[in-house]
Copies of this chain bind each other. A is one copy, B any other.
Amino acid sequence: MIQKVNLSEKFGRFREVYQPKIAGELNDTYLKLVKIKGEFVWHQHEQEDELFWVVQGRLQIKLRDGDIWLEPGEFVIIPRGVEHCPFAEEETHVVLLESKTTLNTGDVHNDRTVTNLDRV
């Protein structure tokens, strides 16, 4: 049975920040939902590009050579190998598109690393 996904309904099902949830999968890609507040950790993904799409709030993607601010209806693709660090002042709802192999903290392993993702 094919079912549609309502994003705001799904975001309403969890509260924790920086804990991405799988909301869909197609081909080799996961579509994940994450709530972001505060600063994450500088990291990169050596083999994988990553897409951030803001649906609510305001997201900063810090880059070594400048920062990008995203508002609802805007996305950015961070190419593999590019160091980045997400930040949001207020709670921000973000859709991620990533390879199924992508780890949230990339080449860094710390207390924010999530290896087993829940589904929402």
Contacts and interface: CB of A to CB of B under 8 A. Distances in A.
Contacts of A82: 2
Interface in A22-68: 24-29, 31, 48-51, 55, 63, 68
B27 A70 contact: no
Nearest to A55: B73
Interface residues of A, number: 33
A7 B70 contact: no
A110 B28 CA distance: 29
Nearest to A51: B26
A99 interface: yes
A55 B3 CA distance: 18
B26 A74 contact: no
Nearest to A72: B7
B4 A76 contact: yes
A65 to B, nearest CB: 9
A52 to B, nearest CB: 9
B74 A4 contact: yes
A28 to B, nearest CB: 6
